[in-house]
Chains A and B, each alone.
Chain A
């Protein structure tokens, strides 16, 4: 039985009875068996027999004529900062090395209702702190296109799992670019929905005002399908909302953002964006160039706000109720201090210190509050741009995948890798990354399309057109 690579084809095969869920799952596990020892995408993997048993049960029910969701029996991988009941949820941290979640994230609940089979939890930078998946307490993941290079991050495990053919799709999370950037570096599709479109309940918080769960897939269509499964208002997340359906105009106005194509964006990436712009024109779009003057402030703004929220969100890991607890503590303060010192990685500690400082009395006005003001300006900048354009066409990563270890000793260089992905995060707008050719080293390049808040459907529709 020939197993297709896209979910769309899998659904068609399952519906036509030319394909079984068991065959799909067997193919996944065969591929994993061949390559996982190099890619190292998973932190937990459901045993093959257990997953196949689930698949066979779905095949049996489908064969018996039961009415199942069309996606029933399709496998998926989940980033390890998203809770799946009775599975570990480490968020890439030693702090949560043995933590098993007693509940499902809302997005996972919806996946299971749609009949999807969760086969594993994927690697991530600790709590989403990083851009390469090197900051995981459980070792790094490698890029399926070149095992000496990073897959990007922080959803590097999910992006690599899709790129390596382990799963047809996966869930990642995107705070400052963590779905889009690894998608770009691994040559797959990554979607950051409008903030609030997908419930954050069950997503281990990094920066709550920017955290989103997003799909990673091999095609725009599959990513869109996954979004449709997981989106919607949730009583467990006050910031979640329903959004009206939107459509892409027949002749959309595309804008290229001049600031994004200047250094540090490299020449090959910039060329890919221009090539995508040419293609956009051939599929009916009009092209303009626009400026987002606040782009230069986005990175600093992002790191201040994200660190303040992260420092606060990480307070709960005190060793009292769950997670790592230091041995032989002499007092409660000693226990909390040592538990955190022992179990947090250096990037987590750095962000806790930065965030604590930026929110503390006497400094908050200068840093946190100022950053919140700049964030509003950035949002206004986007609003202005969207008055003249339906979609912005930009790179998302200034470069293609870099060598493992190349930036891991230089936090500032690592932060700079996010310079093109964080503006959309601060503005809360949806953005999608699609593969657009390869560089001289054969490494994938991705381009990013960004739309106004709530226009996810229109964005997806145009991205599909462009990708074809």
Chain B
């Protein structure tokens, strides 16, 4: 039978995703040597994070890292998985110079986590989650814990050509959590959104830094298409697994490339989905296309069998509960809460939930203000402004997190309160924020109580200790503001004079306001503030102006 493009009436994309997350445990998954994916490890010389276990020296034995299991469980909880009561590790055999034992310790039939699902939110036209539209469910088949392989270099450091390869085993034995989704995706954008959310979740859980350039997360989409033919028949194209994508851009590129190519491949060769037809392809970032790495991927025989060196692990309820309580509120849940409770816009809320520590910082500012008697909704709004305007600006300039710029959450809360009390003008808020950031960075006080990370995010009743710390911070900030002449020293006479001068100097604007264009008063407020700096706050000035100009 000959095939042609004309026969195809429609094409539907089917994608399932495998994600490898390098867990940021202190030590490797089966030995005590330092794990390169841990945050404390910077650039390291090749083959320095090795030991007899990593190099598979004769007589060395793997010992399972409990921390890696617990991190896997945390991800499992976050993905609504069932955590196994019994889990075991198996040997996956193949020869390759980056695989020291000639088998990878992986999990075959009893993974740590299985049967989960994730709500993938709908997005608006700007790509922000749209909570008014229904979300999609992405099924999670399993998440299993295995070890990473080493790395092969085919050119010498510095890019010189060599006629041999160099093996670096630093990465060998890094714990990898392989997460496998159901083939529930039907477009590339959803896959990328899922990947980004997963990265964010991992960062919130503290199980990975999620630095894509370092390969902390690698994606392998399994892509095929359902072709509906004009005669009503459907044809499934063979699955293509694209290996080792380590950027969101390449994930999108690879899926869209395959969507474009697969119908044509079927027209050319007629190959359909079935056992032994899965193909492994790589991704060429420059050419923006996939290329064949291995035919008949699913015909490989890895000869899995249970690793006799590693005991079957029993995970009891008590252990599960201990780990479950360590799972923090996740980014999408926080996002919903910020939008709902703090009336933040989706853009603002989404910006805040990009980083766990920023959320903690933000919520600690709110808690601090609430303790000083500000209503929570109002405190949420003020704190959001402080973080999104003051903190983010500085953070971007310095390439730091908004929670890392020097000012503590308690100090920021103090600024918010002073602002609410009418003791700080806009300009003064800005200056004071800057001064506190710089002072703390110079004095190294950023580890004070009330700095990011050390503050619990919950709204539990404040302890006396926290109250005392807050009072101290508050007193310090007010003193600081006074010393630098930033506090508004209310001088009603000076303000009145300035108001009269301003109205006289801007008759046209004043007339507009009198005629009912209330928003025009803003210009007058600015003029008054310029004439009498530090003598009153904008809110009072505005009220005073309106009192005079409107009946």
Q: Could you tell me which A residues sit within 8 Å of B by CB distance?
A: 82-83, 89, 91, 96, 99, 101-103, 105, 200-205, 207-209, 235-239, 308-309, 312, 315-316, 318, 320-322, 332-333, 336, 356, 359-361, 364, 368
Contacts and interface: CB of A to CB of B under 8 A. Distances in A.
Question: Sorted from nearest, which 5 A-B pairs have the closest CB atoms?
Answer: A315-B102, A209-B308, A208-B308, A202-B59, A316-B56
B64 A312 contact: no
Interface in B9-60: 52, 55-60
B59 A239 contact: no
B52 A102 contact: yes
7 contacts: A236-B61, A312-B102, A312-B303, A315-B102, A320-B97, A336-B95, A359-B305
Contacts of A101: 57-59
A203 B59 contact: yes
A308 B102 contact: no
Nearest to A89: B58
B100 interface: yes
B156 interface: no
A201 B91 CA distance: 19
B436 to A, nearest CB: 48
A237 B30 CA distance: 11
B303 A208 contact: no
B466 interface: no
Given A103-B59, A204-B58, A205-B58, 16 more contacts: A91-B58, A101-B57, A101-B59, A203-B59, A207-B308, A208-B308, A236-B63, A308-B305, A312-B102, A315-B93, A316-B56, A316-B58, A320-B167, A359-B305, A360-B301, A364-B305
A468 to B, nearest CB: 37
Contact of B97 (A105, A203, A332): A332
A309 B308 contact: yes
Given A316-B102, A359-B303, A238 B56 contact: no
A364 B303 contact: yes
Given A89-B58, A238-B64, A312 B95 contact: no
A332 B165 contact: yes
Contacts of B165: 332
B61 A237 contact: yes
Interface string B144-183: 0000000000000000000001010000000000000000
Q: Which of B58, B91, B102 has the most chain A CB atoms closer than 10 A to its own CB?
A: B58
Contacts of A235: 63
Contact of B57 (A103, A200, A312, A368): A103
Interface residues of B, number: 28
Interface in B407-423: none
Contacts of B52: 102-103
B102 A368 contact: no
B301 A361 contact: yes
A316 B101 contact: yes
A96 B305 CA distance: 26
Contact of A312 (B62, B301, B305, B311): B305
A362 to B, nearest CB: 8
B194 interface: no
B64 A316 contact: no
A205 B97 contact: no
B309 A239 contact: yes
Interface in B284-314: 301, 303, 305, 308-311
A363 to B, nearest CB: 10
Interface of B: 52, 55-64, 91, 93, 95, 97, 100-103, 165, 167, 301, 303, 305, 308-311
A222 to B, nearest CB: 25
A368 B59 contact: no
B463 to A, nearest CB: 39
A238 B301 contact: no
B95 A201 contact: no
A236 B51 CA distance: 12
Contact of A238 (B61, B93, B97): B61
Given A360-B301, A360-B303, A361-B303, A83 B59 contact: yes
Contacts of B310: 238
Given A208-B309, A315-B95, A359-B305, A321 B100 contact: yes
A321 B55 contact: yes
A312 B63 contact: no
Nearest to B313: A238
A105 B309 CA distance: 16
B102 A318 contact: yes
Nearest to B98: A320
Nearest to A103: B52
A423 B154 CA distance: 50
Contacts of A361: 301, 303
Given A209-B308, A239-B309, A318-B102, A201 B61 contact: yes
B303 A238 contact: no
A366 B339 CA distance: 59
Nearest to B62: A238
A204 B59 contact: yes
Contacts of B308: 207-209, 239, 309
Given A96-B58, A200-B61, A320-B97, A238 B102 contact: no
Contacts of A364: 303, 305
A321 B59 contact: no
A47 to B, nearest CB: 24
A446 B96 CA distance: 46
A319 to B, nearest CB: 9
Nearest to B31: A236
Contacts of A318: 95, 97, 102
A150 to B, nearest CB: 25
A312 B103 contact: yes
A83 B310 CA distance: 21
Contacts of B62: 238
Contacts of A201: 59-61
A102 B303 contact: no
Contact of B91 (A99, A202, A312): A312
Nearest to A369: B305
Nearest to A204: B58
Contacts of B309: 205, 208, 237-239
A201 B51 CA distance: 13
